[in-house]
Amino acid sequence: MVTVHSTSPHFKANARRALGDEQLQRALTNVPGGFIAKRQHAKDKLPEFDALRDEARDLKNHTLAHLDVYLEEYEARVIASGGHVHWCETPDEACRTVIDICKAHDARTVTKGKSMVTEEIHLNAAMQAAGIQPVETDLGEYIIQLRGETPSHIIAPAVHLNKDQIEADFRATHTHLPADRQLEEGAQLVNEARQILRQKYIDADVGITGANFLVAETGTSIIVTNEGNGDLTQSLPKAHIVMATIEKIVPTLEDASTILRLLGRNGTGQEFTSYTTFSTGPRRADDPDGPDEYHVVILDNGRTGMIGSDFQDMLRCIRCGACLNHCPVYQAVGGHAYGWVYPGPMGSVLTPSLIGVDQAGHLPNASTFCGRCEEVCPMRIPLPKMMRHWREREFERHLSPVTVRYGIGAWAFMAKRPKLYRLATGIAARLLKLWAGKTGRLEALAGAGGWTRHRDLPAPQGPTFMAQWKRRRP
Amino acid sequence: MSAREAIFARLRHQLAAGSSEQDRRETASARIAGHAANLIPARAQIDHGAQVKLFIDQAEAVQATVKTLASHDDVPDEVTAYLRKHNLPQAIRHGTDAQLSGLDWHGRAPSLTVSHGPADPHDEASLSHAVAGVAETGTLILTSGPDNPTTLNFLPENHIVVVRAADITGTYEDVWQTIRATYGERQMPRTVNMITGPSRTGDIEQRIELGAHGPRRLHIIIIEN
């Protein structure tokens, strides 16, 4: 945990800035409109959807309980098919491993398919420092690489941007093209990126992709994509490097198929993405194309420590992004406010595991516990429960601010004395109702400025719940 | 201690509470050897004629075009007609696949230039033979090798794929059984491509555009006999 570049400790300031950013707020309106309706449609078309979620959860739990042996089986099959497996404990080791392979091929430029693990290890910066130029080829990743930004979403990295911003970036970067060209339409932007990147695929010495799954049965890595950039990245250069982590493993092709039925539907709302590619080893003796070398770099980076802990369930995550799309906090502030690689609910659980709760303690608090993330999770990960675990640890380690500790302490004192609690809440409810008067709303309230700055606080309308319940019971 | 040893030592330490290493090993080996199917959606568990129809509907729903021909013999005519329809040069490239190489290209499509081998960056159209079609999502299955080089699936802007109706099946699981029968247990070709419609992206304001990096158009030719 040495190379952490995180602004997670400043989540509150980040969020405040995000709420005031007009461009960002405009772009974020595309999230609920697009992803949520499409996912619902795809789910409705497959009656077995929820039963598949149960199976996927169980098969991944089984895999994690046998992770050591499945990883060994996987490794043996990769080697048998002519590939290489590299094990790395830390981001630095993983970067060094990738750079060494690139150097062995005298690589000047390296194309990259979309990979969140390479974001996690800050591979691009490490490669540039070593004199190797990484070229992101996924359209969203290409756009944010031009801008010097990080992804704001795990499957839609440029979701925080509007078309006019991308147009401006393309005009500023692709200066060899006519200045008066038409570039207002999405299709024109896609075409321009297509033309630019075509030559990059051909020139690249090494191609790097991520892996959605690793199959123990056959030593196969799987990528799930729509653009075709991952396939060009891995089939044209001399070497293909797969960047993966230990929890990507599934036992068999049948098990992969079960989870594949969930991934597209739950992420983008597609029944199946355009391209699902299964890669096993390097080019064979009679193959006319494909890479001469096939390397898989498998990173731990703290994940072994999650096995057997309160956070093991998080290792079931397949990175579909649905918990981000459905999260009211993500929808309001976007991904960058979270300050590290993985935003939204899955990031709020994973980030403290990977960079420490002292760095990322705000993130598990950035939740209303509405539960939608767990409701839409294809792997049925109990995200709110795990965020609560983090809050407890933050509290235990005295990392929460003194006002929070004092407040929780006061609440606990009252909650342990029900009579006193009911008396106090009964008085408070009546007072607030009186104070609010006819409007029934409070525009300001001491201690609730954070709420009333943006909206009114509805005043209690009568006696407390307990009092009403007592009266209704026969 | 190497990174590998350290990672496995930590894993074994954490997993020991659940079961012994010997038990874990036996359970995992049995699952791999058995490769049992999990839940199969009812959607594609229908008779073969209905599977072919479902395959066509699903492929068209994701912007592939589909043409059904009585026999392989008509493929050159269809390729010529397709290229003409889209104002493309009369040129196509395919691999050494016997079902494609054996066609009467010269007799049936005299104006067509047919080349062979992996894709060249200047190719505008390619032709492949899919080993299977999967009805449940309208997905084509292509395997790498000299018969059907992988780059033909991605580099040209127009991809034409021939699949026999007899090779259209219900589910992905059916395909794995076929692949095991061809390549052996625990063996795979270098690449298996599942292709479902043409290339697309939603990265600009979440609106779908076709032809991001791979083919803009995917044309499927189903051979009935």
CB-CB under 8 Å, B42 with A190: no
* Chain segment A235-279, per-residue pLDDT in tens: 999 999 999 999 999 999 999 999 999 999 999 999 999 999 999
CATH number of domain containing A286? 3.40.50.10420
* pLDDT of A2 higher than 60: no
A162 vs B205: CB contact, 8 Å cut-off?
A: yes
Interface test with A, best of B40, B205, B208, B209 (most A CBs within 10 A): B205
**DSSP bridge partners of A249:** A214
- Read off the pLDDT of residues A389-435 as tens digits, 9 standing for 90 and up: 999 998 888 888 888 888 888 999 999 999 999 899 889 888 988 88
- Which residue from A minimizes the CA distance to B212? A227
CA distance B106 to chain A (A): 25
Q: Which of residues 10-29 of A touch B (CB under 8 A)?
A: 27
Closest CA to B167 of B92, B216, B99, B119: B99
Enter the DSSP assignment of A342.
S
Answer whether residue A172 is part of any domain. yes
The end-to-end CA distance of chain A, in Å, is 60
A44 touches chain B (CB under 8 A): no
Residues of chain B with CATH 3.40.50.10420: 47-223
Q: What angle do CA A79, A80, A86 make, to 5 degrees?
A: 5
Task: Give the structural domain span for A90.
Answer: 8-304
- Residue A361 Cα to chain centre, angstroms: 17
Q: What angle do CA B74, B78, B79 make, to 5 degrees?
A: 120
Q: A298 and A424: one domain?
A: no
| Overall average pLDDT of the A358-368 stretch | 91
**Is residue B169 within a helix (H) or strand (E), and if so which, with residue range?**
strand B168-169
- Does a structural domain hold residue A32? yes
Residues A279 and A417 reside in one and the same domain = no
For A102-245, strand residue ranges (E) read: 109-112, 133-136, 206-209, 213-215, 220-225, 239-245
Report CA B35 to chain centroid distance, whole Å: 21
For domain B47-223, say whether CATH 3.30.930.10 is its number.
no
Q: Which of A274, A289, A304 is the last residue of a domain?
A: A304
Residue A236 lies in a domain: yes
User: Using one digit for the tens of pLDDT, what is the confidence trace for A172-226?
Assistant: 999 999 999 999 999 999 999 999 999 999 999 999 999 999 999 999 999 999 9
- pLDDT over 80 at A4, yes or no: no
Residue B224 contacts A where some CB pair is shorter than 8 Å: no
Q: Which two tokens stand for residue A358?
A: 């002292």
Residue A274 three-state SS = coil
Rounded distance between C-alpha atoms, residue B80 and residue B89, angstroms = 9
pLDDT (tens digit per residue) in B86-108:
999 999 999 999 999 999 999 99
- Residues of chain A above pLDDT 70, percent: 99
Q: Is residue A113 part of a domain?
A: yes
Which residues of chain B lie closer than 8 angstroms to A233, CB-CB? none
pLDDT tens digits along A80-127: 999 999 999 999 999 999 999 999 999 999 999 999 999 999 999 999
Q: Using the structure block, give the residue that is written with the tokens 């991944």.
A: A60
pLDDT over 90 percentage in chain A: 81
Structure tokens that stand for B110 in this block: 């005299």
Residue A128 lies in a domain: yes
Q: What is the pLDDT of residue B21?
A: 95
Q: Which segments within A252-306 are labelled E, that is strand?
A: 275-279, 293-299
CB neighbour burial string for A83-101, b if at least 16 within 10 angstroms, e if fewer: bbbbbbbbbebbbebbbeb
Number of domains in chain A: 2
Burial readout B96-120 (b: 16 or more C-beta within 10 A, e: otherwise): ebeebeebebeebbeebebeeebbe
Residues 6+ apart with CB under 8 A from B85: none
Question: Which chain B residue has the Cα nearest residue A237?
Answer: B151
Residue A288, pLDDT above cutoff 50: yes
Taking residue A432's Cβ as centre, other Cβ atoms within 10 Å add up to 17
Whole-angstrom Cα distance, residue B28 to residue B24?
Answer: 6
A286 touches chain B (CB under 8 A): yes
Angle between helices A186-203 and A163-173 (to 10 degrees): 40
Mean pLDDT of chain A: 94
CA atoms within 13 A on the CB side of A442: 20
In 3D space, the residue among B100, B98, B109, B123 whose CA is nearest the CA of residue B76 turns out to be B109
Residue B71 to residue A135: CA distance in whole angstroms: 45
Distance, in Å, from the CA atom of A166 to the CA atom of A189, rounded to the nearest integer, reads 8
What pLDDT is stored for residue A5 in this prediction?
76
> What gap in Å lies between CA B28 and CA A249, rounded to an integer?
12
Task: Assess contact for A70 and A174: CB atoms under 8 A.
Answer: no
User: Which chain B residues are closer than 8 Å to A186 by Cβ?
Assistant: 204-205, 207, 209
User: SS3 breakdown of chain A: % helix, strand, coil, rounded to 5?
Assistant: 55, 10, 35
pLDDT tops 90 at residue A462: no
Q: Percentages helix, strand, coil for chain B, rounded to the nearest 5? A: 40, 25, 40
Do A303 and A245 contact (CB within 8 A), yes or no?
yes
Burial of B17 (0-12, 13-18, 19+ CB in 10 A): exposed
A137 falls within a domain:
yes
Residues in A 365-384 with any Cβ partner in B closer than 8 A: none
Residues A164 and A279 grouped into a single domain: yes
Cβ–Cβ under 8 Å, residues B172 and B121: no
Looking at CA atoms only, how far is residue B82 from chain A in angstroms? 22
Q: Which residues of A touch B199 (CB under 8 A)?
A: 226-228, 274-275
pLDDT at residue A60 in the model: 98
pLDDT on residue B120: 96
Question: Over the Cα atoms of chain B, what is R_g?
Answer: 21
Single out the residue in A304, A326, A356 at which a domain terminates.
A304
Smallest Cβ distance to B194: which of A163, A227, A276? A276
Low-confidence ranges of chain B (pLDDT < 50): none
Rounded to whole angstroms, the Cα distance separating A425 from A45 reads 48
Of A304, A335, A364, the residue at which a domain comes to its end is A304
A253 touching chain B per CB within 8 A: yes
A431 domain residue, yes or no = yes
Q: Is B38 on the interface with A (CB under 8 A)?
A: yes
CA distance B91 to A254: 39
CB–CB contact B27 A66 (8 Å): yes
Q: How far is it, in rounded angstroms, from Cα A464 to Cα A445?
A: 19
Residue A454 lies in a domain: yes
